[in-house]
Amino acid sequence: MKAYITYKFKDEDPQALRVKLEEFSKIVEDATGWKTFVFFRDVQKWQKDTRTVKEIFTEALSEVKKCDIILAEASEKSNGAYLEIGYAKALGKKIIVVHKKGTEANLLEAMADVSIEYETDEELKMKLKEIK
């Protein structure tokens, strides 16, 4: 299984985002055994992309097609995640939305096949193991 991870990218510090995504990807892989796809890591190689937003989204949506699952870390609002999740839903992909307790992922949760609210990374890992 291959999981496309969508996340808040805009206005994020690239170095801090890299650390968050590496940790999140590891949690998902360790808990489920799924291979993860992270656009910032796998396409952009942790670098700022100089292409237009349209070009980036065209490639991102192409990558969504190649995955079995789309997993959204929705603790922070991300406009791109709405597009990626909507596209994945139209393709019939399984959608998992996770968010930290005390945050809201309203619209994304409404589109999710599975929604997980968590407080700690260990709790997230445990809940992901349950749905695997």
Domains: count for the chain? 1
Query: pLDDT per residue over 29-40, tens digit each?
Result: 999 999 999 999
Q: Taking the model in full, what pTM does it have?
A: 0.93
Return the pLDDT at 104.
Answer: 86
Q: How far apart are CA 32 and CA 34, in angstroms?
A: 5
Q: How far apart are CA 9 and CA 101, in angstroms?
A: 20
Question: Which residues constitute the domain of residue 22?
Answer: 2-131
Q: How far apart are CA 33 and CA 98, in angstroms?
A: 17
CB 1 within 8 A of CB 35: yes
Residue 56 is part of a domain; what is its CATH number?
3.40.50.450
Q: Residue 93's pLDDT band (boundaries 50, 70, 90)?
A: very high
